[in-house]
Structure 1
Amino acid sequence: MKKISSAFIAIFTLFIGLISTPANAVVGGADATGSGFVVAVRVDLPGDLQTACTGGLWKPKIVVTAAHCVVAEGTSTVANASEVHVYAQGANVSGARPAANTTAIILTGGYSNSSTGFVEANDLAFLILDKEIGTPLISRLASESEAAAATVLGKKMNFFGYGQTAKVSDVSLIPLTLSQTPFQFLGGKTYLYGKSATGTGACFGDSGGPVILQTETENLLIGPVAGGSGSPCYPEIKERAVLGLVASNFTALVKTALTTAGYSADEAFTTPRPSLNKGTFTAKTVLKKIGVTTSGSTNVRFVGVKAKPKNACVATATSVIVNAKGTCTLTFTVKKSGKTARTAKTTFDIG
């Protein structure tokens, strides 16, 4: 498990060397054996050893996972694809054989797996399989605006993993799942921070596990778990969090993964970016553009704005003025009475 160094919180990565006896994963989670969302990922190491990680089955031949699972620690050396093995959806891996091998690994060029244990930017990888291994339950990738909306609404997201239940324990042979509530997402290729109930969370071996947002009609893949902090696996860190990337924001990687696996790069793998017309809009009106309706007692404020071209939009704390075609990236906080403020960022096209 990795950690991220920032003014906000330290996050640790969640991959681990393997293997001995059974244990629970996703500390405090429910049994997810047979789930179509999750797969176990194993990477061969010298000396008849393996690294244990988790992945999400996005397409029958594409698994989404964390890049640090397939890059040697302290280097930019990517594992040979033939050394990466994937098990069947939701499998109990005790005595099981992998369902597929990997033929290609798609990740950001120059990605380096820091030996400090801190999470790096772009900690995302797509594994291309040599065969289809099942029917995914994932409808598509969640968009940036959907991740932002879920964050400010505090919508529950489920994540899955084959990791440990404590800092010193064995990885699980079955997948478990746990819900978490997002509380910060700063858009683009930044991390989405979530928090689970006290005494629960992600641990070593959960890296790459899918974070799922369920709507009334769809199962959306936010992206892979990249790291975590606080109890139970890092009790010395006060702040407790799980973080993951929003995979749809890595458009070039997504398209490369699709074409490499034999799918169309032109498919609508996520929803279009929301748009704003010229004019003046209150913060609450802008939130409605991404599907968020707030009550009168909810305080909504803009805390950041970035326009392309410059001055295409300008914002105060409570409104935004849209002047010209381009893009307008807005950061906002939403605070309900008596609740903790939630922060999110998303980009709008200006028509």
Structure 2
Amino acid sequence: MVRKLLLTRRSPARWLLAALTAVAATAGVLPGTAHAAENVVGGTRAAQGEFPFMVRLSMGCGGALYSPRLVLTAAHCVSGTGTNTSITATLGVVDLQSSSRITVRSNYVYRAPGYNGNGKDWALIRLATPVTGLATLPIATTTAYDSGTFTVAGWGAAREGGAQQRYLLKATVPYVADATCDNSYPDLIPSDEICAGYTAGGVDTCQGDSGGPMFRRDASNAWIQVGIVSWGNGCARPNYPGVYTQVSTFASAIASAAASLGG
């Protein structure tokens, strides 16, 4: 099983690789690996302003703007809780090389308490200054939206082992029931994780999409985040859906952490 960063799910070396590739990630280009984490495979280019809450992080992950000063991402994308000024967030554009892009440094990271590589795959990154003029992405607080068809987006690879993308890609993926997903992933944690993808494969998140949001429309037709790109077996392989952090499970903990960070 592989994280949709660049390393295996439980690899103790993933932080070293993340550090070595951080500079390339900032430019939106990362080398591929044979069994990489997810980017959007089978996707199409997003329109400018379509998903204003999308964030690209310099360690090679994605994220979503939870509040003007906080980015929600995956725990496996960060090294731990504490002061951290090494991460650059790029926002406000689909083209990472656009002169209109907004870049903000981090000043603190909060990683889910008890995270050990199995479940609890969420983290908050506090930005040094708040971002104005961009919509945030509310998170699901109940399981009401944890089914149906979801949207995923990211700057990750467009094929397994491929290069990171300059332009934001998007795709839709259907919910996969826990019992079905467990057939593909016996180590799935149903209370912490939610699966989405096609039996035939072909559409998925991929390497470099880790930490990005999986979202859908709520009852008011507004976007709501239901998942965080976490891990999977390769990218878009048949019978291997993507595995996402089930945001509703951690909504209270995320809100509490956000409050403690002043966000």
Whether TM-score is above 0.5 comes out as: yes
Query: Which residue does the alignment assign to 1:249?
Result: 249
Identical-pair percentage = 21
Q: Retained in 1: the 8 A contact 2:176–2:241?
A: no
Could you give the per-residue CA deviations for residues 215-235 of structure 1, whole angstroms, max 9, x where no partner exists? Answer: 352211113111223554xx5
- Post-superposition shift, 1:176? 0.9
Query: Which residue does the alignment assign to 1:221?
Result: 225
- Post-superposition shift, 1:245? 1.6
- The one-letter amino acid of 1:68's match is H
Query: What is the TM-score normalised by the length of structure 2?
Result: 0.74
Query: Which residue does the alignment assign to 1:67?
Result: 75
- The one-letter amino acid of 1:87's match is T
CA RMSD of aligned residues (A): 2.8
Q: Which shows bigger deviation, 57-66 or 240-249?
A: 240-249
In structure 1, how many angstroms separate the alpha carbons of the residues matched to 2:190 and 2:128? Answer: 31
DSSP 3-state at the match of 2:91: coil
In structure 2, how many angstroms separate the alpha carbons of the residues matched to 1:94 and 1:253? Answer: 31
Give yes or no for the alignment of 1:174 onto 2:194: no
Q: Retained in 2: the 8 A contact 1:188–1:249?
A: no
Task: State which of 123, 126, 130 in structure 2 corresponds to 1:125.
Answer: 123
Query: Which residue does the alignment assign to 2:193?
Result: 191
Change (3 A) 1:185 1:15: same
DSSP 3-state at the match of 2:206: coil
In structure 2, how many angstroms separate the alpha carbons of the residues matched to 1:98 and 1:138? Answer: 15
Q: Retained in 2: the 8 A contact 1:85–1:98?
A: no
- Post-superposition shift, 1:122? 0.5
DSSP 3-state at the match of 1:99: strand
DSSP 3-state at the match of 1:83: coil
Q: Which has the higher contact order (CA 8 A, sep 6+)?
A: 2
- Post-superposition shift, 1:189? 4.2
Change (3 A) 1:180 1:226: same
In structure 2, how many angstroms separate the alpha carbons of the residues matched to 1:188 and 1:169? Answer: 30
Task: State which of 73, 77, 87 in structure 2 corresponds to 1:84.
Answer: 87
- The one-letter amino acid of 1:140's match is P
Query: What is the TM-score normalised by the length of structure 1?
Result: 0.56
Query: Which residue does the alignment assign to 2:260?
Result: 259
Runs of 4+ in structure 1 deviating by more than 4 angstroms, as ranges, are 20-23, 77-80, 95-98, 185-189
- Post-superposition shift, 1:240? 2.1
Could you give the per-residue CA deviations for residues 148-195 of structure 1, whole angstroms, max 9, x where no partner exists? Answer: 4xx2xxx21101111112232211122111111112258984211111
In structure 2, how many angstroms separate the alpha carbons of the residues matched to 1:258 and 1:231? Answer: 35
In structure 2, how many angstroms separate the alpha carbons of the residues matched to 1:255 and 1:198? Answer: 37
In structure 1, how many angstroms separate the alpha carbons of the residues matched to 2:136 and 2:254? Answer: 18
- The one-letter amino acid of 2:85's match is S
1:8-87 matches, within 5 Å, as 12-16=2-6, 17=18, 18=21, 19=24, 25-32=39-46, 33-34=48-49, 35-43=51-59, 52-71=60-79, 77=80, 81-87=84-90
Change (3 A) 1:245 1:146: same
1:94-133 matches, within 5 Å, as 94=97, 99-113=103-117, 120-133=118-131
DSSP 3-state at the match of 1:202: strand
Larger Rg: 1
DSSP 3-state at the match of 2:255: helix
Q: Retained in 2: the 8 A contact 1:138–1:220?
A: no
In structure 1, how many angstroms separate the alpha carbons of the residues matched to 2:107 and 2:248? Answer: 22
In structure 1, how many angstroms separate the alpha carbons of the residues matched to 2:219 and 2:145? Answer: 16
Q: Which has the higher helix share?
A: 2
- The one-letter amino acid of 2:123's match is A
- Post-superposition shift, 1:36? 0.7
Change (3 A) 1:185 1:102: farther
